[in-house]
């Protein structure tokens, strides 16, 4: 698979087979993440790769937070979207609810969905991306590029991913279980595993705005 094909075929996977991703495959995926460009090569990213018992414990601890009624509290404040951004979020969100047959009128069904998001959609593996508190917003851009490298490399290996802000909604739980100091800020969780293609959560395709609305051309005939 070439990189452009990977870019166009990758999608978020939200249903996984239980089979763990082999360590060598994970190493190769992480090598691609580490290859990302960054502001003056500062390489602000750090990655905790989760598997086996640790992954199980992390998922259980995150689920317990939600069950205890703890409100999510990201290290980087939850964004407030308005205008066209809110529109895009809503229109894909409505389609996702329909296609995945989530019951919007059923608080239990929505609670289960939120929990599954915070627990890496029960993927066998996960990555937590974090960075030092001394870094600036620019480093978040570098983190995003590294996350995309990771997700594309995973796709090339047949491994599905989903970037998950929800998985870092209880950052203190991750710091505690991963033995990280308060100075490390949780940026993003990424679920990893082999897609369970029998589930609509593994086949759902998000939409994109047409090029005309977002790209302007200057100096062309
Ligand atoms: C920074 C970031 C945070 C995200 N957080 C979540 C999340 O908490 N829950 C979720 O289901 N998807 C999450 N996603 C996945 C997006 O919803 C998804 O990338 C977007 O809808 C486009 O769909 P695609 O990845 O299938 O192309 C996140 C993506 C990014 C880049």
Q: Whose CA is nearest to atom 18 of ligand 1?
A: 12
Q: What is the pLDDT at residue 145?
A: 98
Q: Torsions phi, psi of 164, nearest 5?
A: -140, 100
User: Which carries the bigger pLDDT value, residue 214 or residue 97?
Assistant: 214
Q: Whose CA is nearest to atom 22 of ligand 1?
A: 206
Q: What is the pLDDT at residue 105?
A: 81
Measured between alpha carbons, how far apart are the two ends of the chain, in Å? 34
Q: What is the CATH number of the domain that holds 168?
A: 3.40.109.10
Q: Whose CA is nearest to atom 7 of ligand 1?
A: 164
Residue 68 lies in a domain: yes
Q: With pLDDT > 70 as the criterion, what percentage of the chain qualifies?
A: 100
Domain ranges, residue 191: 3-78+116-206
- CA of 183 relative to ligand 1 center, distance in Å: 26
Whose tokens are 């594309």? That residue is 152
Residue 108 lies in a domain: no
User: Which carries the bigger pLDDT value, residue 182 or residue 108?
Assistant: 182
Q: Is the pLDDT of residue 21 over 90?
A: yes
Residue 181 lies in a domain: yes
- CA of 79 relative to ligand 1 center, distance in Å: 13
How confident is the model over 109-153, as pLDDT tens digits? 888 899 999 999 999 999 999 999 999 999 999 999 999 999 999
Number of domains in the chain: 1
Helix (H, G, I), strand (E, B) or coil at 43: coil
Q: Which residues approach ligand 1 with their CB closer than 6 A?
A: 11-12, 92, 117, 162-166, 188, 206
Q: Are 202 and 196 in contact (CB under 8 A)?
A: yes
């Amino acid at each position: 698979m070439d990189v452009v094909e990977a870019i166009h075929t990758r999608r978020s996977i939200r249903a996984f087979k239980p089979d763990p991703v082999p360590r060598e495959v994970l190493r190769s995926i992480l090598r691609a993440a580490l290859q990302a460009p960054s502001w003056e090569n500062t390489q602000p990213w750090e990655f905790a790769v989760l598997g086996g018992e640790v992954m199980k414990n992390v998922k259980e601890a995150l689920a317990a937070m939600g069950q205890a009624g703890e409100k999510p509290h990201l290290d980087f404040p939850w964004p407030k979207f308005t205008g066209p951004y809110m529109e895009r979020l809503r229109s894909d969100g409505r389609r996702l609810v329909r296609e995945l047959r989530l019951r919007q009128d059923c608080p239990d069904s929505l609670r289960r969905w939120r929990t599954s998001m915070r627990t890496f959609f029960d993927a066998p593996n996960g990555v937590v991306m974090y960075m030092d508190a001394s870094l600036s917003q620019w480093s978040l851009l570098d983190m995003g590029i590294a996350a995309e490298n990771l997700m594309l490399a995973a796709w090339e290996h047949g491994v599905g991913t989903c970037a998950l802000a929800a998985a870092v909604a209880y950052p203190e739980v991750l710091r505690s279980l991963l033995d990280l100091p308060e100075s490390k800020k949780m940026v993003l969780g990424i679920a990893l595993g082999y897609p369970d293609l029998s589930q609509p959560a593994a086949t759902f395709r998000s939409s994109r705005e047409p090029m005309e609305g977002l790209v302007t051309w200057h100096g062309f005939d």
